[in-house]
Amino acid sequence: MKDSKQKINGWLILDKPQGMGSTDAVNLTRRMFNASKNGHAGTLDPFATGVLPIAFGEATKIIPFVTDGDKIYEFTLKFGTSTNTDDLEGAVIQTGGHIPSKEDILSVLPFFLGNIVQIPPAYCAVKINGERAYKLAREGTSFEVPSRNVFIQSLEFIKQISDDLFCFKVACSKGTYIRALGRDIALKLNTFGHLTALRRTKCGFFSIDDTILLENLKNIVYEGCRQDSLLPVQTPLRDIAALALSVEDAVKLRLGQGLSVKKYALQQNVGQTMAAYLGDCLTALVRIDENKISPIRVFNFE
């Protein structure tokens, strides 16, 4: 039987609603677009909202370029109480912690800048001996989540909402757990804390301005019109140097063959990744070696 799924290429930047997992968002949008293939870049917990890039078709080949990019989050931290998930969806495990002043909070934020070591929350997707940590935590199994090194570019105090609720903004590297960051800020202040809100406003190249609400997407009746919501496959590659190809060399790259560095005078670009185009059509991502231009990812648009 002929596959009725459509070969759709591009990026859907979803403003993910709270309560929906990233995989659920991928599965739902695949059905909405009747698409043959899609996947997400940069997981968001069901608790979190905001920028979730979803790649369709050929765009899935450059998911790592988005996933590896820096992220920006806004989060609300409640002091005085901690939970077993470090957010409001978990069970309360500690209460009665003191509420720090704004001045005290500002005094500890510099300790979380630059390269820091984090221990992810027990309820996370890290694998422990082949099992997800959150599964082991739900089963009551005793385990330790390994620490990880992350980079915090900036951490800003935004405002105080109430006596115990404070808002922050953080720019950070891939792999940073904001729930753990909130927990650790509270611990640094000799109290307890957990997140009550978390919103991602930037993921790699994409920002909140690029997003579409799920409800707005649902209100678009026709699949063809929904495709107008997609950004081009090459969108997150706009900051990568471009290489203009001849027709002959475009064919070679698509066949997995290398090209001469000297022919394109790229001796100064050794070690770089470039986006190779035939006209306006993305042909491949290439690596510039000393003697050869080697294809990393090859794109096939039908």
pLDDT band for position 139 (cuts 50, 70, 90): low
Domains and CATH numbers, the chain: 10-69+206-235 (3.30.2350.10), 71-203 (3.30.2350.10), 240-298 (2.30.130.10)
**161-192 pLDDT, tens digit each:** 999 999 999 999 999 999 999 999 999 999 99
Instruction: Say yes or no to pLDDT of 1 above 50.
Output: no
Distance CA 62, CA 279 (A): 20
The pLDDT of residue 85 is above 60: yes
* Pairing between β-strand 212-213 and β-strand 10-16 as defined by DSSP bridges: parallel
Residues 177-189, buried b or exposed e (16+ Cβ, 10 A)?
bbbbbbbbbbebb
Instruction: Say which residues have a Cβ less than 8 Å from residue 4's Cβ, sequence separation at least 6.
Output: 34
Pairing of strands 38-40, 242-244: unpaired
Mean pLDDT of the chain: 91
255-280 pLDDT, tens digit each: 999 999 988 888 888 999 999 999 99
pTM of the predicted model as reported, rounded to 2 decimal places: 0.91
- Residue 294, both tokens: 């080697």
The rounded radius of gyration (Å) of the Cα atoms in the chain is 22
Catalytic residue, candidates 15, 45, 184, 249: 45
The yes-or-no answer on residue 210 being catalytic is no
DSSP string for 26-78: HHHHHHHHTBS-EEESS---TT-EEEEEEEEGGGGGGHHHHHTS-EEEEEEEE
Mean pLDDT of 145-167: 94
User: What pLDDT, on a 0 to 100 scale, did the predictor assign at position 9?
Assistant: 96
Alpha carbon distance 50, 170 (integer Å): 14
DSSP, residue by residue, 165-184: EEEEEEEE-TT--HHHHHHH
